[in-house]
Structure 1
């Protein structure tokens, strides 16, 4: 008899091992294995719980459950708790337990949920792979209240087999997930390169990235955040197939703390569903995607240290191994985003160089053609005027020649100022020196002062140069004075240029259609194009003051 029992156990283990190797689909494998185990052992019902690190359980397989446990879509197997799950959570369930009376079945009898098929007890076997505890296997039969040591040993051996197969499948799924993600990463990189080549503004990059994330990956939610001047700003969000750009809504205190945690960690950080909702509020809570169980936040290593970016995605997975694969791909993905941003900066720099070259060409053409013609016209008018001055009585055309000479000289002065604007020379010696020299050529005495010292980008320097030029032109034309004051101030985040005069004011009262009003509008547009602002104060007694404030990028020590 013992030999027959031993042979039966060997047949059972062999059959279970063969069954576990027939599929890579976890649910199908477990259903088949539980059914085969019950068939070989003469038991009638079984179910299997997977329990994660947080102690939350899921019934992933069942076979021939009593009708009382099948009610309302197997609700008794999905909600509530029981003694075997509690012992697993407490770490008290290390080996197969001989008898545990089933609380779920006791509740079924007490609350009259239906027929329990005369099952009152079950054996409970922990599923494990090495030191990792995975879940529980429960088996039962009508009227059976005791399992022998041999039966428990067999169940324990089967549980080890199931645990090893689950670990193998987990590793297989993780590698398959990693391979799929890297394939999508390649597609994402190619698409991003094409879109960057078509993109003309760096501000459009976050929306482009968010849309491509939704297109190439299966993450139901993705968000791009950037820290600027100490504050976090939501740039773009992908959710449910749509891309939403910056709404301007501030982050909560806890959301800011979570974002800082991601930035300071320097690597991918796993986030819970509650943390995702804390960071992005209703944007995540209202999604109709599959229930989100976790997310990942990864810093984007932009080259400006005080302006890091953060990429956050949400996923319906909670397996650490699957999340690890996503984290690896996300860290590689941020490098693509950084490269795309740098490509846009280089393209913008190339366009700026092209604009400067075109301005230089236009300045040369004006100098060689129109400027020379105006100069010749001035000389001709002067010569004609001198001829008429020697006649008696004075020829009527003398006054006309005088007006022509004055107008041609004024036009020549304007043309030279225009050429100077098109081709800014002298910035090598500093912005203030260039503006002082320009003001002197316009007949103004310019008093300049500086507070603070730091390097500024070429685009900011040229923008302030253009604003200063236009302001000095307005002083020469409209202020009625021949002096002006310049003050250039720097702090950690901003450059501020102040141009003031003690003239007759009236800058704000000029008609919108006037030439000077157009100049003020152009100055304001220049400041806004650099992310700054321009303010004007003007009165008849105190003159006019123009202040341009331009934000500056981080300057490393």
Structure 2
């Protein structure tokens, strides 16, 4: 070849190289523009695969996304041969191939030629249909930085080799696709975070309005899981409370229904997991097996089978002895919890704890209102009825003295004596009622107050105390009322001048006992409506605190009233 011909060939090669370079730049520019046209991942992938094939002259392409566990899914395809479209693209959804195996093993870091495509070989071997003479494809890993996302495969009939420049172009496109996918993932995560916090605001508002409807912790737990079911699309939500050192499954939302299971104890393995969550103060993700372990006592027909993963977070109650855990189940077909879900769950737990504190404050306000009303009633009775009864007693005594002063007793003298006796009894009852309405002396302690009260009723009260710890105000007042009623019954019916009061305190409960050695319930009036009402009120007071009241009575051993009340955990 002479020099002019050599120069002409070099010039043609330069022109061709420049044309190829321009084509590559146009391809990359077009792909970049296509990637920025949509925030819908599937639509974007379908569009970009079609555009890539159009610009490169290839005819078929498909894309696999592969997660950390190695599970793959064909998320986009373009112009697949009929052999790979059979049975709703079953060859693309099942089985394995060389490129996927290489990706799982970490040996696929750059664009490569694939000599044998197992899916196409199977199509020929098992006669699945026409393969359009496609036997080879190029495989390009999709990545964003160091994060591997999946594979891009492209092919054309009778094309058995891809040049280095073609592979370099495909690798550049794959980097663009991977970066766009990561951008969309971040966009979806932020969008999901915004949606979750919008739902959190609606949930918090509804919970704040519903707090006043709740009278105790059981009702509060039911309301919480009910509102979670209304505002979120979680198929399962449960609240577990710690009572006396044991974790109890208190309320459950599942199958669009709310159930209360306040007597269902979780397993020891689940309790250990709950303690770790409580001590960490952080939300954690759960596998389906861990959710099933935690909620092993709750076995709905279909709910547990539909849960793929879950989340759990402690409820940061500020009330001593109150500990709770919120468990969320995430359904199959839904992505597992990400950091945004866990952060939102922690915020959700804070809102629930704030509502719980509002409930306790409302209870305290109601209790203070009741105390104020009792004090007002006690003052009114003391200033009015008590003074009238005292005046009546003095008047009857004076009239009786006048009627008995003469030598011959007046017929009305005996009646006046009865009036004086009855007025003194009524005055004594009124003073006891005022004392019950206004429990003066509790500031010095429950036993001291009961001893003072017994003395005022003419009883010698022997006190006995075992154990040292503080009593919550509501429990102390309930025991005060139970002790008052028991001492009143002893004064009226036991026919003895003394009583024994004991208080046994342990870590988990208080045992309060009032006993006498009188004639016993067998000889006491049983038709008195006041007596039966008093006993029922004592039982109601004990049961309202989760405890029980036992009354044992015999004509030989007297009567023993025992109240057993569980105590909340007391931190040291």
**TM-score, length-scaled by structure 2:** 0.91
Identify which range, 510-519 or 376-385, moves more after superposition. 510-519
CA distance in 2, matches of 1:318, 1:514: 62
Shift of 1:369: 1.4
CA distance in 1, matches of 2:122, 2:525: 86
Shift of 1:536: 1.6
Partner of 1:43: 58
2:31 touches 2:173 (CA, 8 Å); kept in 1?
Answer: yes
Shift of 1:243: 2.9
Partner of 2:4: none
Partner of 1:85: 100
Paired residues in the alignment total 555
CA distance in 2, matches of 1:494, 1:469: 21
2:113 touches 2:161 (CA, 8 Å); kept in 1?
Answer: yes
Does the C-alpha gap of structure 1 residues 235 and 194 become closer, same or farther in structure 2, counting only changes over 3 Å? same
Shift of 1:154: 1.6
Identify which range, 344-353 or 69-78, moves more after superposition. 69-78
Q: Specify the structure having the higher radius of gyration (Cα).
A: 2
- Report 1:304-453 matches (<5 A): 304=319, 307-316=322-331, 323-453=338-468
Residue from 133, 146, 155 that aligns with 2:148: 133
Give yes or no for the alignment of 1:64 onto 2:72: no
1:192 touches 1:209 (CA, 8 Å); kept in 2?
Answer: yes
CA distance in 2, matches of 1:454, 1:426: 19
CA distance in 1, matches of 2:411, 2:566: 59
Partner of 1:299: 314
1:507 touches 1:544 (CA, 8 Å); kept in 2?
Answer: no
Does the C-alpha gap of structure 1 residues 512 and 175 become closer, same or farther in structure 2, counting only changes over 3 Å? farther
Shift of 1:164: 0.4
2:523 touches 2:555 (CA, 8 Å); kept in 1?
Answer: no
Give yes or no for the alignment of 1:172 onto 2:187: yes
Shift of 1:513: 6.2
Partner of 2:163: 148
- Report 1:252-263 matches (<5 A): 252-263=267-278
Give yes or no for the alignment of 1:224 onto 2:208: no
CA distance in 2, matches of 1:495, 1:283: 35
CA distance in 2, matches of 1:48, 1:231: 51
Residue from 279, 291, 299 that aligns with 2:294: 279
Shift of 1:541: 1.8
- Report 1:528-547 matches (<5 A): 528-547=543-562
2:244 touches 2:567 (CA, 8 Å); kept in 1?
Answer: no
Q: Deviations over 1:413-455 (max 9, x none)?
A: 1111111000101111111011011111111110001112222
CA distance in 1, matches of 2:248, 2:90: 43
CA distance in 1, matches of 2:527, 2:55: 94
2:250 touches 2:264 (CA, 8 Å); kept in 1?
Answer: no
Does the C-alpha gap of structure 1 residues 439 and 83 become closer, same or farther in structure 2, counting only changes over 3 Å? same
Q: Deviations over 1:337-366 (max 9, x none)?
A: 111111111111111111111111111111
CA distance in 2, matches of 1:54, 1:504: 78
Report SS of the residue matched to 1:53: coil
Does the C-alpha gap of structure 1 residues 104 and 302 become closer, same or farther in structure 2, counting only changes over 3 Å? same
Report SS of the residue matched to 1:492: coil
Partner of 2:484: 469
Does the C-alpha gap of structure 1 residues 540 and 354 become closer, same or farther in structure 2, counting only changes over 3 Å? same
CA distance in 2, matches of 1:172, 1:147: 35
CA distance in 2, matches of 1:414, 1:546: 22
Residue from 42, 46, 53 that aligns with 2:68: 53
Shift of 1:197: 4.2
Identify which range, 355-364 or 84-93, moves more after superposition. 84-93
CA distance in 2, matches of 1:178, 1:433: 58
1:262 touches 1:299 (CA, 8 Å); kept in 2?
Answer: yes
Q: Deviations over 1:130-159 (max 9, x none)?
A: 111111112222333332222222221111
Q: Deviations over 1:321-345 (max 9, x none)?
A: x721121122112111111111111
2:521 touches 2:554 (CA, 8 Å); kept in 1?
Answer: yes
CA distance in 1, matches of 2:76, 2:353: 45
Q: Deviations over 1:137-187 (max 9, x none)?
A: 122223333322222222211111100001111111111112222222222
Shift of 1:109: 3.5
Identify which range, 524-533 or 117-126, moves more after superposition. 117-126
CA distance in 1, matches of 2:448, 2:522: 25
Partner of 1:22: 37
Partner of 1:186: 201
Report SS of the residue matched to 1:504: coil
1:123 touches 1:138 (CA, 8 Å); kept in 2?
Answer: yes
CA distance in 2, matches of 1:153, 1:350: 74
Report SS of the residue matched to 1:101: coil
CA distance in 1, matches of 2:131, 2:200: 52
Identify which range, 454-463 or 435-444, moves more after superposition. 454-463
Shift of 1:472: 0.5
- Report 1:464-543 matches (<5 A): 464-506=479-521, 511=526, 514-543=529-558
Does the C-alpha gap of structure 1 residues 253 and 552 become closer, same or farther in structure 2, counting only changes over 3 Å? closer
Report SS of the residue matched to 1:286: coil
1:385 touches 1:402 (CA, 8 Å); kept in 2?
Answer: yes
Does the C-alpha gap of structure 1 residues 70 and 362 become closer, same or farther in structure 2, counting only changes over 3 Å? same
Does the C-alpha gap of structure 1 residues 115 and 247 become closer, same or farther in structure 2, counting only changes over 3 Å? farther
Partner of 2:122: 107
Does the C-alpha gap of structure 1 residues 286 and 42 become closer, same or farther in structure 2, counting only changes over 3 Å? same
1:202 touches 1:345 (CA, 8 Å); kept in 2?
Answer: no
Report SS of the residue matched to 2:338: helix
Q: Deviations over 1:372-396 (max 9, x none)?
A: 2211222222222223323454333
Give unpaired runs (5+ residues) of structure 1: none
Shift of 1:225: 1.9
